[in-house]
């Protein structure tokens, strides 16, 4: 039996949020059986299949930013690659980021509220980039 931690529950909620968005966009959602895959769900848009790893946070730091680990596990810095999944979707209170694995360059996504920083975050071009699934 797997212990359900608050982090597991938050992860489940993030996965459901991504699944809801896929369904709203007209896609089909599939889940792999068990926790043995490097991806959390699959989106199917008329035969275009995308294996999605979902990462997320519910927290906003005192400085207004939200930070999400984009690599495997919570302590290791092992990057995802195309054998693992096609996209990483980072779910944050400041928006969702749909990032192709082939462009992952940093192990952490940091998002800022609009207008707080002069320089855009590295992954800002992928904010709400749901079109990448289609």
Question: Tell me, what's the pLDDT at 117?
Answer: 65
Contacts of 90 (CB under 8 A, 6+ apart): 55, 56, 68, 70, 96, 97, 99, 109, 111, 123
Architecture of the structural domain at 6-133:
3-Layer(aba) Sandwich (3.40)
> Could you tell me which of 49, 104, 44, 48 has the C-alpha nearest to residue 72?
104
Question: Tell me, what's the pLDDT at 74?
Answer: 64
The domain limits of the chain are: 6-133
Rounded Cα gap, residues 120 and 24, in angstroms? 28
* CB contact at 8 A, 15 and 54: yes
DSSP class of residue 15? H
Q: What is the full per-residue pLDDT of the chain (134 aa) written as tens digits?
A: 455 578 888 889 999 999 999 999 999 999 999 878 999 999 999 999 999 999 999 999 998 899 999 998 766 678 999 999 999 999 999 999 999 999 998 889 999 887 666 667 789 999 999 999 99
Question: Tell me, what's the pLDDT at 75?
Answer: 67
Question: Tell me, what's the pLDDT at 110?
Answer: 92
Question: Tell me, what's the pLDDT at 1?
Answer: 45
């Amino acid at each position: 039996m797997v212990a359900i931690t608050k982090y597991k529950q938050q992860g489940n909620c993030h996965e459901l949020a991504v699944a809801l968005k896929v369904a709203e966009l007209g896609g089909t959602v599939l889940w792999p059986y068990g926790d043995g895959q490097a991806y959390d769900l699959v989106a199917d848009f008329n035969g275009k299949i995308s294996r999605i790893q979902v990462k997320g946070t519910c927290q906003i730091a005192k400085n207004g930013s939200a930070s999400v680990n984009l690599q495997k596990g919570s302590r290791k810095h092992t990057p995802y690659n195309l054998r693992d999944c096609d996209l990483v979707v980072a779910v944050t209170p400041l928006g969702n980021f749909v990032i192709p694995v082939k462009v992952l360059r940093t192990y952490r996504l940091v998002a800022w509220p609009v207008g707080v920083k002069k320089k855009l975050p590295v992954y800002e071009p992928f904010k709400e980039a749901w079109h990448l699934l289609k």
